[in-house]
Structure 1
């Protein structure tokens, strides 16, 4: 499907309570959602829309409004103390966030609001009900999935799932990022009749097969795992699989800066596992990688591993495929949509080092298959996941929501 350019631009309010598009990536709560909101806002602006991103003020020195780029402005909302707070502590401040949105939208109403993450949805739903504005919502992650996999380690507010259900039932349209999310919503009892699937995107101009390549070690093959260093991302599975892959090194990128790696609990845990598996000399931790260095690191790998226990969407497989690097990923969440097995890589059961090792060994031993996956992965990203396509599909949802809304009453008889 193609989405033609439109010159009748909309005024769009994107609400992202904890994930500012201005944030420096790599913090505990700064990651894929920040990237998604920033790129979606920019791509919508490229299509002629005027976008305001509402995010919580977490520093007293921030101005109320900051231009992000032509057509995009960031508004810092006073809701709670003007300092960084873990996102799981933000729920009590959402009523104030919602009141601010309602006042702002009464003075200068957008055509439509689009909230990101469940707490943004709560604040936006409060304001939309007061102002009568249409509301689309993207969850990015669901509390039911987090609780299932983390159990007692889940720090989300106890009411999260109930409130997520309220948002899903109250908004005009849910914009899910993958088919697995639609199934999860149905299991929660949320009607999926008003759900559209629009995936996350990737910057296909920055993540390309051509460009600088990070230096490699002396071993014949390099495996790369990149992302936040938290147990659910499955680095322990990659380390266990490495014991069956004697000709490969494993680079684990992410976490704190390199100088602070020794004090990081997860790094200490993973290094202990590597010693027990007899592969400590073939595992290298880089620490956090500046965004500008990520494409070169992806290009340097024979394979990128994404063995997460669960993954609401998963940006790394897209970035790897955009760089022409095949992916071996766990068959969970959005990775089941993005990684086409056997076309662009391999999907394996989660938490299964033997299955991961077998899939990796099969590809490392078959250069022709890796090359075919490389070419197919890049094609798949260009066809489905470029930000211009994601923005066009999102705009199509917006216009459908507006078309289904009753015409506003402009006067009395």
Structure 2
């Protein structure tokens, strides 16, 4: 198949760790690579963010990235990109007229807005993955939500217009149903993990029991709650990876806020901010930790718990979003209510006091990651959706 992946702000070639560069970039790149390995012709369309870069780049993994020249050639916060989607759609329509594709897979709601507009004019089926829903973000963040006010209505419109939705977790399907999407038009295909890169490793013993929190440093990720929990865990250290490079930590507003939380909690000497780290170092950090703490207030999917499980690390996670699917309480980790440092501390303490249970959780987590979340399985399930939708579109086109 000739497959177009549209990811307007999340370029798989981007450097990770910025405000808008994270899990979606990894997801799109890994999916594109795996689909290409399965023999498909795959192009990712993403907005340009600099001058002097080639319009079309063929990656070593066999897929192409096409930089769409709309808007200023610089980084723009994703919440400010809606104004450029009409021009993005015109570009896609032109390219798909010149170089036809079989199916379009839009990643994020703004990609869906551009993709459906372009695909309608050239008669192409569109599959949508939201990665995050505005209804959930608005519910959780309230007045702090910086999404464009049109987002909720446009997402509901996409539920009517796209041919199918690939959701990343069952919780998302329930949210989509409330937005009017029939269950038959949604399929759950989770995000994936590189189980060769993320795997158990032998690491030297540490003098202190260590927790790891890793990911983008934004308030909703719950790192502050993990720091507050540390006050109830004497002798335990917390490593926080993410955010700017180490040299920029002092100037980062969220790092400053988290350091204030640590000072108020009396644990500043036991919280270590590592700054942004290269993806290749993440498995090492996970393996060095006794367990990984991922306690967001809400999370559309949450790749960190799956990566930790692939590394054989037990997880203490929030009972929200995708974590309800990925973390099995009493098997691969424990789930706790969000924003509850006391419950986080209790779950961590029980695991730290039970080495045999940590080993069992780690082994079960590794088995679960390999069985359900390796990229080859995710790509195969995605391919099955594509085949169904393309076949349905073909039948519709030839029907009398």
* TM-score by shorter chain over 0.5: yes
| Number of aligned residue pairs | 400
Alignment-derived partner of residue 33 in structure 1: 24
Contact 2:51 2:73 in 1 (8 A): yes
Q: Does 1:317 align with 2:305?
A: yes
**Segment drifting more, 274-283 vs 126-135:** 274-283
Q: Find the aligned partners of 1:233 and 1:371 in 2 and give their Cα distance.
A: 26
Show the 5 A alignment for 1:98-247. 98-210=89-201, 213=203, 218-219=207-208, 221-247=209-235
Alignment-derived partner of residue 328 in structure 2: 340
Contact 2:103 2:124 in 1 (8 A): yes
Q: Find the aligned partners of 1:329 and 1:205 in 2 and give their Cα distance.
A: 23
Q: Find the aligned partners of 1:360 and 1:410 in 2 and give their Cα distance.
A: 59
Picking from 253, 257, 263, the partner of 2:251 is 263
1:76 deviates by 0.8
SS of the equivalent of 1:225 reads: strand
Contact 1:321 1:378 in 2 (8 A): yes
Alignment-derived partner of residue 390 in structure 1: 378
Q: Find the aligned partners of 1:409 and 1:296 in 2 and give their Cα distance.
A: 52
SS of the equivalent of 1:155 reads: coil
1:409 deviates by 5.5
SS of the equivalent of 1:88 reads: helix
1:62 deviates by 1.4
Q: Find the aligned partners of 1:29 and 1:246 in 2 and give their Cα distance.
A: 35
Alignment-derived partner of residue 64 in structure 1: 55
Alignment-derived partner of residue 74 in structure 1: 65
Q: Find the aligned partners of 2:164 and 2:179 in 1 and give their Cα distance.
A: 16
**Segment drifting more, 181-190 vs 353-362:** 181-190
1:402 deviates by 1.4
Contact 2:5 2:43 in 1 (8 A): yes
Change (3 A) 1:336 1:411: closer
More helix by share: 2
Q: Does 1:329 align with 2:317?
A: yes
Alignment-derived partner of residue 347 in structure 2: 359
Contact 2:159 2:179 in 1 (8 A): no
Change (3 A) 1:143 1:411: closer
**Segment drifting more, 72-81 vs 368-377:** 72-81
TM-score by length of 2: 0.97
Contact 2:34 2:376 in 1 (8 A): yes
Contact 2:199 2:311 in 1 (8 A): yes
The RMSD of aligned alpha carbons is 1.5
Contact 1:49 1:71 in 2 (8 A): no
1:29 deviates by 0.5
Q: Find the aligned partners of 1:411 and 1:314 in 2 and give their Cα distance.
A: 42
Q: Does 1:402 align with 2:390?
A: yes
Segments of structure 2 that go 5 or more residues without pairing to the other structure are: none
Q: Find the aligned partners of 1:378 and 1:191 in 2 and give their Cα distance.
A: 34
TM-score by length of 1: 0.94
Contact 2:48 2:74 in 1 (8 A): yes
Contact 1:147 1:154 in 2 (8 A): yes
Superposed CA offset, 1:153-195 (max 9, x none): 1110000010011112101000000001011111223333200
Superposed CA offset, 1:110-134 (max 9, x none): 1101000000000000011101101
Q: Find the aligned partners of 1:375 and 1:190 in 2 and give their Cα distance.
A: 38
Alignment-derived partner of residue 81 in structure 2: 90
Alignment-derived partner of residue 260 in structure 2: 272
Q: Find the aligned partners of 2:241 and 2:98 in 1 and give their Cα distance.
A: 46
1:216 deviates by 7.2
Q: Find the aligned partners of 1:400 and 1:128 in 2 and give their Cα distance.
A: 18
Q: Find the aligned partners of 1:395 and 1:249 in 2 and give their Cα distance.
A: 43
Superposed CA offset, 1:64-123 (max 9, x none): 100013531111111111111110110010011101111111111111010000000000
Segments of structure 1 that go 5 or more residues without pairing to the other structure are: 1-9
1:406 deviates by 4.0
Q: Find the aligned partners of 2:396 and 2:228 in 1 and give their Cα distance.
A: 60
